[in-house]
C-alpha cells in the first residue's frame, strides 16, 4: 500500500491545538540507520521499546510509524471534535489487574500511549490498545459542542499496521454504527526478525448506554414537516372543540325544547295563564267526542285537541251530553270534562238582525234592550283587543274614537240571553273575519289599501249611496278625489260630519276633545280619509271600494225622497244636479 492510499484509508482521530507539540515522540532523523539508540539494553539483550511503536523497533518500522503519525495530523476542527467524541463515549473504564502482570503484558504486547484521563467519567490513567471492535462516531453538532478545541486534552493513538478502513467510518458520517467485535491479527514480522505472537487482552466492555445523538439531521428536523404536523394537530384540536360545542348546543337546545314543550303542555292541561272570560256555545245533538273537541278549539276553550281526547281516555271515555254550556279557558281539562258530563237545560236564545250602516252605540243599545248584555259592557269588550284572529289584521289610527267601529258585520245573529259581552264580541268578530276572503286581501294589495282604509271608505259609501247599484260609482267619486289631492284635498262627505254630531257628541262632553275629533273625522275639515270608519258597512259597500267603476266623476248628490243619485265631472254640472235632486232652488 503506497503513501497516498494509506493517507486515504487512515483518517486521523488525534486532535490538539498544535499537533507537532502534542506528539509524544519526536520525529526520528531522516537517516534512521545512522542514529544510535541512547536507551539501555533490556535484560533479554534487546533494546527497550520505543514508546508508541510496540516491540518492533527496526528503523524501517520507526520510519513508517512516523510517516503514518505525520499523515494523521488533524486537518479540521470537526475531525478533532469527532475524535474527542469517540474517545469520550467509547473509552472503557480500566479494570483492576495485578500490577506486575499488567506491566508485563503491556510491555510485551501492547502499544503504549500517554496516559489519558477519561473526560467526565474517571481520573485514573488508561492505556489504550487496538480495540476489539472499531466504533465510529459521528461529528457532534456544533451548537452542542461547548469546549474549545484548544482546551481539549492531548491524545495520541497508535495507528495499526493493517488497513482498518473497512471497520471505520468517515468523520462526517451521519450515522453511528458499531460493527461486531473482531480479533486483531498478529502483525507480520519484519524480514530477519522473529516477533512474538502475544495473546490479545480482552477487556470487559462497559454496559451499553443509549448514545446521545448529536447529529444535526437527527436533532434539527425539517421545519416544513414540523409545521405541517403542528397545523394538523391544531386542525384536529379545533375540529374536536367545534364538534364538542355543536353537540353540547344541540343537546341543550333539544333539552330546552323538550322541557319547554312539557311545561307548555302541562300548563295547557291545567288551564294556567289562560283567560277567565266565559264563553257560551251549543253542543248539537249526536255530537261525538271528536266534534266536541273541535267546538272547544273553535271557541278558544282548549288549544290541544289530541291532549283533550287523551284526557277523555284516561277518564274512561265518559258520556258527554249535548246542549248549551258556558266554559272559560282557564278551566283544567278534567274540569271541562266534568261539566260536559252533566245534563244541561237548553239556554234561551235571542235572534237579532243588524242592518248595514249601523254604529256600535246603536248595536249596544239593541243588545241591552233584548237582554243579552249591557251596552256599556258591549262597548268595552268589543273595543278591547282580544286574542282573536281578526285583531292581528287591523291597523288603527291613534285618533280613532271607537277602535272597532266598522267591524260589527251587519248580519243576523243568535245570542244567548244574559250572555257575556265577551261571548258576543267573539261571535261577531269571527263572523266578520269569515266574510273577508283571501281574494279580497289580495285585491287590497293591488289597489294599495289596507283593511282599515277599505272599511273606512266603505262606511262612507254605505251612508252616501242611494242604492247598491250606485255604490261602485259613489266609490269611484271618492277614489278620484283621493288620487287628486291637490285639486280636491277634502272628500266633503256628509256621513263623516254626521258621525261627529250623532255619535261622538252624544258621549264626549269636553269641547277640546270635540274639536279634536271634528278635525280628524269631519271630511269637510280634515284631508283625505277620516280617522276611522263612521258606521259598520256591509259586504256590498266593501266590494264597491275594492272594485269601483272607472269614471271621471268628482261630484254626486242624491234625491232624499227617491234615492236617485246624480253624478258630475265639474262643479257647474254638480250645481245643475243639485236642482234636479231638489236640494236647491
pLDDT digits (tens, 9 = 90+) for 528-569: 999 999 999 999 999 999 999 999 999 999 988 888 899 999
Looking at the fold, whether 415 and 534 belong to one and the same domain comes out as no
Q: What was the pLDDT predicted at 85?
A: 62
Half-sphere exposure of 149 (CA within 13 A, CB side): 17
Strands 279-283 and 122-126: unpaired
Looking at the fold, whether 410 and 483 belong to one and the same domain comes out as no
pLDDT of 102 strictly over 60: no
What's the rounded mean pLDDT across residues 164-185?
A: 45
The whole-angstrom separation of Cα 53 and Cα 69 is 11
Q: What was the pLDDT predicted at 428?
A: 94
Cell representation of residue 164: 482498518
Looking at the fold, whether 24 and 69 belong to one and the same domain comes out as yes
DSSP string over 303-350? S-HHHHHHHHHHTT------EEEEE-TTS-HHHHHHHHTS--PPPPEE
Could you give the number of structural domains in the chain? Answer: 3
What's the rounded mean pLDDT across residues 345-353?
A: 89
What's the rounded mean pLDDT across residues 125-138?
A: 46
pLDDT in tens, 103-116: 555 555 545 444 44
H, E, C per residue of 69-117: HHHCCCCCHHHHHHHHHHHHHHCCCCCCCCHHHHHHHHHHHCCCCCCEE
pLDDT band at 237 (very low <50, low <70, confident <90, very high): low
Select from 384, 410, 435 the last residue of a domain: 435
Q: What was the pLDDT predicted at 434?
A: 93
Q: What was the pLDDT predicted at 82?
A: 67
Instruction: State the chain's mean pLDDT as an integer.
Output: 75
Strands 565-568 and 555-558: antiparallel
Q: What was the pLDDT predicted at 583?
A: 85
Looking at the fold, whether 477 and 452 belong to one and the same domain comes out as yes
Q: What was the pLDDT predicted at 136?
A: 44
What's the rounded mean pLDDT across residues 200-225?
A: 52
pLDDT in tens, 15-36: 444 444 444 444 454 444 444 4
The whole-angstrom separation of Cα 15 and Cα 78 is 10
pLDDT of 422 strictly over 70: yes
Residue 510 lies in a domain: yes
pLDDT in tens, 249-289: 888 877 777 777 788 888 888 888 888 888 888 888 888 88
Looking at the fold, whether 32 and 145 belong to one and the same domain comes out as yes
Residue 233 lies in a domain: no
Select from 435, 468, 493 the last residue of a domain: 435
pLDDT of 386 strictly over 80: yes
Residue 380 domain boundaries: 279-435
Q: Give percent above pLDDT 90 in the chain.
A: 35
pLDDT band at 135 (very low <50, low <70, confident <90, very high): very low
CATH number assigned to the domain comprising residue 306? 3.30.1490.480
Residue 380 sits at the vertex; the CA angle it makes with 374 and 382, to the nearest 5 degrees, is 95
Select from 145, 169, 187 the last residue of a domain: 187
Residue 135 lies in a domain: yes
Cell representation of residue 506: 252624544
Residue 272 lies in a domain: no
Looking at the fold, whether 385 and 505 belong to one and the same domain comes out as no
pLDDT of 504 strictly over 60: yes
Looking at the fold, whether 486 and 525 belong to one and the same domain comes out as yes
pLDDT of 98 strictly over 60: no
Looking at the fold, whether 427 and 453 belong to one and the same domain comes out as no
Q: What was the pLDDT predicted at 40?
A: 46
Residue 449 lies in a domain: yes
Residue 212 lies in a domain: no
What's the rounded mean pLDDT across residues 418-434?
A: 92
DSSP code at position 501: I
Q: What was the pLDDT predicted at 105?
A: 58
Q: What was the pLDDT predicted at 171?
A: 45
Residue 257 lies in a domain: no
pLDDT of 61 strictly over 60: yes
pLDDT in tens, 465-481: 989 999 999 999 999 99
Looking at the fold, whether 418 and 454 belong to one and the same domain comes out as no
Looking at the fold, whether 395 and 480 belong to one and the same domain comes out as no
Which distant-in-sequence residues (6+ apart) come within 8 Å of 545 by Cβ?
A: 449, 454, 457, 458, 461, 475, 479
Q: What was the pLDDT predicted at 76?
A: 61
What's the rounded mean pLDDT across residues 82-99?
A: 55
Cα separations in angstroms, 437 against 196, 393, 443, 445: 129, 12, 10, 13
What's the rounded mean pLDDT across residues 359-372?
A: 95
Looking at the fold, whether 477 and 407 belong to one and the same domain comes out as no
Looking at the fold, whether 340 and 464 belong to one and the same domain comes out as no
Residue 283 lies in a domain: yes
Amino acid at each position: 500500500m503506497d503513501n497516498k492510499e494509506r493517507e486515504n484509508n487512515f483518517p486521523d482521530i488525534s486532535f490538539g491545538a498544535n499537533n507537532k507539540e502534542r506528539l509524544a515522540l519526536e520525529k526520528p532523523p531522516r537517516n534512521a540507520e545512522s542514529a544510535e539508540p541512547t536507551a539501555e539494553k533490556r535484560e533479554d539483550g534487546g533494546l527497550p521499546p520505543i514508546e508508541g511503536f510496540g516491540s518492533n523497533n527496526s528503523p524501517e518500522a520507526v520510519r513508517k510509524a512516523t510517516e503514518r503519525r505525520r499523515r494523521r495530523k488533524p486537518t479540521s476542527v470537526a475531525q478533532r471534535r469527532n475524535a474527542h467524541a469517540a474517545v469520550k463515549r467509547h473509552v472503557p473504564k480500566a479494570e483492576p489487574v495485578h500490577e506486575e502482570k499488567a506491566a508485563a503484558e503491556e510491555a510485551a504486547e501492547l502499544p503504549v500511549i500517554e496516559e489519558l484521563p477519561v473526560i467526565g467519567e474517571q481520573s485514573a490513567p488508561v492505556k489504550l490498545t487496538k480495540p476489539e471492535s472499531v466504533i465510529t462516531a459521528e461529528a457532534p453538532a456544533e451548537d452542542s459542542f461547548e469546549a474549545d478545541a484548544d482546551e481539549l486534552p492531548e491524545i495520541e493513538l497508535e495507528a495499526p499496521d493493517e488497513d482498518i478502513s473497512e471497520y471505520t467510518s468517515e468523520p462526517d458520517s451521519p450515522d453511528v454504527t458499531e460493527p461486531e467485535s473482531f480479533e486483531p491479527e498478529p502483525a507480520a514480522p519484519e524480514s530477519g526478525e522473529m516477533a512474538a505472537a502475544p495473546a490479545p487482552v480482552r477487556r470487559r466492555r462497559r454496559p451499553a448506554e443509549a448514545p446521545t445523538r448529536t447529529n444535526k439531521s437527527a436533532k434539527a428536523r425539517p421545519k416544513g414537516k414540523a409545521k405541517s404536523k403542528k397545523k394538523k394537530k391544531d386542525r384536529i384540536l379545533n375540529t374536536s372543540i367545534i364538534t364538542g360545542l355543536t353537540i353540547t348546543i344541540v343537546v341543550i337546545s333539544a333539552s330546552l325544547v323538550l322541557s319547554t314543550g312539557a311545561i307548555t303542555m302541562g300548563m295547557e292541561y291545567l288551564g294556567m295563564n289562560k283567560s277567565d272570560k266565559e264563553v257560551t256555545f251549543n253542543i248539537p245533538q249526536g255530537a261525538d267526542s271528536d266534534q266536541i273537541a273541535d267546538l272547544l278549539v273553535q271557541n278558544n276553550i282548549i288549544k290541544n285537541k289530541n291532549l283533550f281526547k287523551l284526557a277523555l281516555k284516561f277518564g274512561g271515555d265518559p258520556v258527554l251530553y249535548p246542549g248549551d254550556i258556558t266554559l272559560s279557558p282557564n278551566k283544567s281539562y278534567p274540569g271541562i270534562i266534568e261539566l260536559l258530563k252533566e245534563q244541561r237545560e237548553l239556554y234561551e236564545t235571542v235572534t237579532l238582525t243588524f242592518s248595514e250602516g249601523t254604529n256600535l252605540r246603536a248595536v249596544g243599545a239593541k243588545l241591552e234592550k233584548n237582554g243579552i248584555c249591557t251596552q256599556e259592557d258591549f262597548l268595552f269588550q268589543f273595543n278591547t283587543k282580544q286574542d282573536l284572529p281578526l285583531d292581528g289584521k287591523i291597523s288603527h289610527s291613534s285618533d280613532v274614537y271607537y277602535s272597532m267601529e266598522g267591524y260589527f258585520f251587519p248580519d243576523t245573529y243568535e245570542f244567548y240571553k244574559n250572555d257575556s259581552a265577551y261571548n258576543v264580541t267573539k261571535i261577531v268578530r269571527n263572523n266578520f273575519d269569515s266574510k273577508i276572503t283571501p281574494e279580497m286581501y289580495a285585491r287590497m294589495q293591488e289597489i294599495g289599501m289596507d283593511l282599515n282604509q277599505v272599511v273606512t271608505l266603505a262606511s262612507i259609501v254605505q251612508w252616501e249611496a242611494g242604492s247598491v247599484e250606485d255604490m261602485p260609482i259613489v266609490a269611484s267619486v271618492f277614489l278620484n278625489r283621493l288620487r287628486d289631492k291637490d285639486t280636491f284635498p277634502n272628500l266633503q262627505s256628509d256621513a263623516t260630519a254626521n258621525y261627529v254630531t250623532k255619535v261622538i257628541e252624544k258621549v264626549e262632553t269636553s269641547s277640546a276633545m270635540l274639536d279634536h275629533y271634528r278635525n280628524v273625522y269631519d271630511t269637510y275639515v280634515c284631508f283625505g280619509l277620516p280617522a276611522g270608519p263612521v258606521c259598520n258597512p256591509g259586504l256590498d259597500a266593501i266590494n264597491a271600494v275594492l272594485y269601483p267603476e272607472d269614471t271621471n266623476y268628482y261630484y254626486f248628490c242624491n234625491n232624499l225622497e227617491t234615492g236617485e243619485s246624480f253624478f258630475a265631472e265639474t262643479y257647474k254640472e254638480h250645481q245643475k244636479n243639485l236642482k234636479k235632486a231638489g236640494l236647491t232652488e
